[in-house]
Amino acid sequence: MADCSCDRRRKIWVTKDLCENTDEVEKFMNHPAPANSRYKPTCYEHAANCYTHAFLIFPAIVGSALLHRLSEDQWEKITAWIYGVGLCALFIVSTVFHIISWKKSHLRTMEHCFHMCDRMMIYIFIAASYAPWLNLRELGPLASHMRWFIWLMAAGGAFYVFHYHEKYKIVELFFYLAMGFSPALVVTSMNNTEGLQELAWGGVIYCMGVIFFKSDGIIPFAHAIWHLFVATAAAVHYYAIWKYLYRSPGDIILQL
């Protein structure tokens, strides 16, 4: 009888430990989503998703204003505006979507709308990130067509999201990668190769982040980690644009 009692106590302790561990996991990560369905973040993951992009909105605005201030002609100002809007909009739309998803999840229509906008902004951001390189560097007659073709791809991606949102996730990921790599083939063919190393490193960081983009329910805080990769890659690309395509702040100081 004593042995039976001890066995029963062991089972209770083991069950209790398993429950506590399960509760701890569910705080930081839920189970993976079924095929073609959205992952449901935990409260902690929602908070991380919001903060990791919300804190970047102000630096993005300041950085965009700096490029506009450093512009020497109208074309550089327009390009700085295009890039700046794409950069700021990415972080703003992402933050708004994650706040609504976290705090206003009962507003399904609004949440669905901002989720689509969040996905569409990725295509627009890719096009805007290439705009300074395609607009301000001398390109060959064939390569110059990429200046408008990149926006055609962004429009096609937005159309795809609007009609097939969350239905074919692998296809959507392929579109993101294809759009990210296609203009790179043109940019790397430029005679002036300054800044291309930083551009390549930024692309590598984005690709590394894709691992976490597709790891919700497998790695805790996967989406927030993906946000950090996006922030790092965007910072590397911004540095290259600021350093190699626009004047340095020292030139401005000398003129004041």
Q: Which residues are annotated as a binding site?
A: 98, 223, 227
Binding positions for Zn(2+): 98, 223, 227
Q: How far is CA 140 from CA 57, 104, 229, in A?
A: 35, 50, 32
Task: Kindly give the interhelix angle for 108-136 and 74-103, rounded to the nearest 10 degrees.
Answer: 160
Integer Cα distance of 226 and 212 in angstroms = 5
Q: Annotate 45-78 with DSSP letters as a single string.
A: HHHHHHHHHHTTHHHHHHHHHHHHHH--SHHHHH
Q: How far is CA 206 from CA 50, 138, 223, 225, 237, in A?
A: 19, 26, 13, 11, 11
* 202-208: long-range pairs with CB below 8 Å, 24+: 202/233, 202/234, 202/236, 202/237, 202/240, 203/233, 205/229, 205/232, 205/233, 205/236, 206/180, 206/230, 206/233, 207/177
Show Cβ contacts of residue 51 under 8 Å, excluding neighbours closer than 6 positions.
Answer: 224
What backbone torsions phi and psi does residue 35 show, to the nearest 5 degrees?
A: -55, 135
